[in-house]
Structure 1
Amino acid sequence: MKRTLMLFILAASVSLSSCSKMLDVKSHSAVATNTLSEADVEAFLTGIYNRMQNAPGAESYISFDITGGNLINAGATSDGGLNTFITNVLRPENGLMSAAWNGYYSALFQVNNLLETLNNMPDTERKREIAGIAHFFRGYLYYNLATRWGGVPVLRKNTTAKVKRNTEAETWAFIEEELEQAIAQAPAYATGQYYQVSNIAAKALMARVKLAQNKMPEAGRLAEEVIGSGLFALDAFEKIFRATQNTEEIFSFKNLTIESSIRVSTLFYTYAHTVKGSYVYRPTQEVMDMFTAGDKRTAMSVETFQGLRVINKYPSGQSGTDPIVVVRLAEMYLISAEAHGRSGGLDRLNELRAFRGLDPIQPATDEAYIDAVLLERRKEFLGEGFRWYDLVRLGRAVQDLGIAEREVKFPIPMNELALNNLLEQNKNY
């Protein structure tokens, strides 16, 4: 890394173990923000990319697969204990809860520092672009927080004070505000540069945010604008998930081995596999059965190795890291399909199915249509962190997963409640 980047990593982004601890410390920048040069800010931005991809930890990227019925403990003798497995994960004392909460707020600390730094710099086009990138990241962080916990503390600036949770509506409104600024200010997309935040990536993420809130007309319009931009095209899974240049990714973390410890693949492969892994989670049999031989996603999604089921999207194992896809074009097809309903969205659903090697379908009812969209999303985004929240936002998680009513939200981590007495736990935890 550049020396300037290391200075910012050491000085501006102390590794903070929790949101409430973050609120109890002042900014640790070693230099006054009004003395930073444009080159310093570029190095700071590089540090933000690094922190954003690393801070929440590997399991944060697949937590909705873990809690959404796609995965189960690799040591389980059957899938019969799936409900118990999910309940054990969704405990206030579980490390997965605190790791994600701490990681998102730790990254937020850096993003807020960057935005504060920009306030003291002359107004230039590049300053506006960097601000747009920062707002994208802040919107993305809060999307991850809101989908897990609902209303959370919304911090426009770092503070030494303990704060209460904002309402869920206030949190979603803040996410939209951030992404609107990113759409207006982030750099334009350059062909093939999907490892850089762009204004079209912000628009794509906004489509996801609108869908999450059941704002279907807006979600459908935004998704169609991304599809119709001409900047992207559906591409083969072997390109997307084997780090080959492709036309489908809109924004991804490059996740280079030299700068990252995010090795999702070690959670999926056995040590006996050629890439080696810890084999923490395996796909359920239901997941294995939903793929067919004609589906072009099958080989890149799941595999059976020495009789054991594995997720195959992240192939590096202990040997390295794999890119982490944040948003890609197939999601826009499926957002448009869902948002426009059976009468207006079926063509988009069947376009995606045809590209993936499947025959067109003609659901007879609206309910059957939503079932078909959900199944397509489950197959398309296996191991990418969508399933649990897809069921939650559609009010189907309790019915489809057999989970308790309280488990449509993640519990606030136990250590956060102990450190910040203004936080209130989610209902019935």
Structure 2
Amino acid sequence: MTAWQATPALARAVVLAAVGVLGAVTLGEPVVIVLVSPFLVVTLMSVLQRPRAAARVDHRLDHVSLHEGQGTVSRLHMTGADEVETVTRVAQRVPYVAMRPTGGALVALAGDDHDLNLSPRRWGRRQLGSENVALTSRWAGFRLGVVTLGGQEMYVLPARAPYDSRAEAPAPVGLVGAHRSRRNGSGTEFSGIRPFASGDRLRRIQWRTSLRTGALHVVTTRAEEDSAVLVVLDALVDLGRSDGIDGEASSLDLGIRAASALAEHHVRRGDRVGLRVLGAHDVRLAPAAGQRHLRRLQGLLARTHIERGHLPGGFALGVSGGTVVYVLSPMLDDGVVTAVATASRRGLPVVVVDTLPPDLRMAVVEGTDVALADLAWRMRRLDREDLLRHLAATGCPVVPWRGPGTLDEVLHRLARRAQLPSVRVR
């Protein structure tokens, strides 16, 4: 409805005023006109101030892409609404999107604030519900609407989880970065003192040692390189309940938020970060650096959806030497466990981040024996713990995600192990 229509209030005022005037004339009682005079005034003022121009309404979001927990505003834009007095707006509620006003309904004067404040509480593509908007003229005589506005779409990126690590990369293989290399070069980390050789820079001369020995000596330093990082996310299953950023987190929630935090941390340190989402489509993003690449990576995480199934027996992570691999998975798929064990035996620095919620209880299908289902789940967890122990025995650490400092000790151990001679299985 895009044209102004008389409201039921105006119709009642017209009927009562007409009946009163007719009754006063018929019965000869002028006092009746006095009784219906308020309705006469309302009818007269509504007709005199009837809107002439057709109004148009539309709504827009201030931001169509933002992180979990952040807020935006859905603004209502009106044209030709000079004669509008009241705006009524009702928005359909959708899961994982908080609104203010809470119910998504507001009534305000045309000159007041009639915008909706929105805050997505979970990552992913969020399709907002449709809205009904009605405009009312002065004296509530005429109304435009209800006008139905289609739902808007927003992309919600994973929350910026507080994560930081001071651990160095186990095997940096790049050109320039913040990680200490195993080879000497033009860095800032002290390595040793050696005799002067042709090509050494004069500013590297160590004068105290040179004067003591009678021969020129120079200071050597470790090179600083960047590292290649691959984040592998298991999207084969989502276990547990998801209540958004303020409540319980499912296994996929933990995995996606941890993947985003790890990627942001390594990009901030200048590393090249790649992404692989395990599922039916096997989404891959080649390693690269920079904030633009991080934004693209987080966008892929936001578009992740559950793809139930199992990985084939010959599945491999497909990474080269020197790449640090983070596998974020509940480790319930045999294909994932086998691929991780194979990569670890090859000598690759692989870290498994366990995303299975600690207090998870499986939902029981109606008609199933609860005790039997609980026994089956406990047996499955015991089998999983046994697999993780065998995986840790191969040199692949398994740690639960705990936010800042989760991987410091693990990466320190991998960096020390990388400096030792080892035999790799090809």
Task: Specify the TM-score bucket, using the shorter chain as the normaliser.
Answer: under 0.3
**Which has the larger strand fraction?**
2
Q: Answer 1 or 2: which has greater helix percent.
A: 1
Ranked by relative contact order (alpha carbons within 8 Å, sequence separation 6 or more), the top structure is 1
TM-score, normalising length: structure 2: 0.22
TM-score (norm 1): 0.22
Higher CA-based Rg: 2
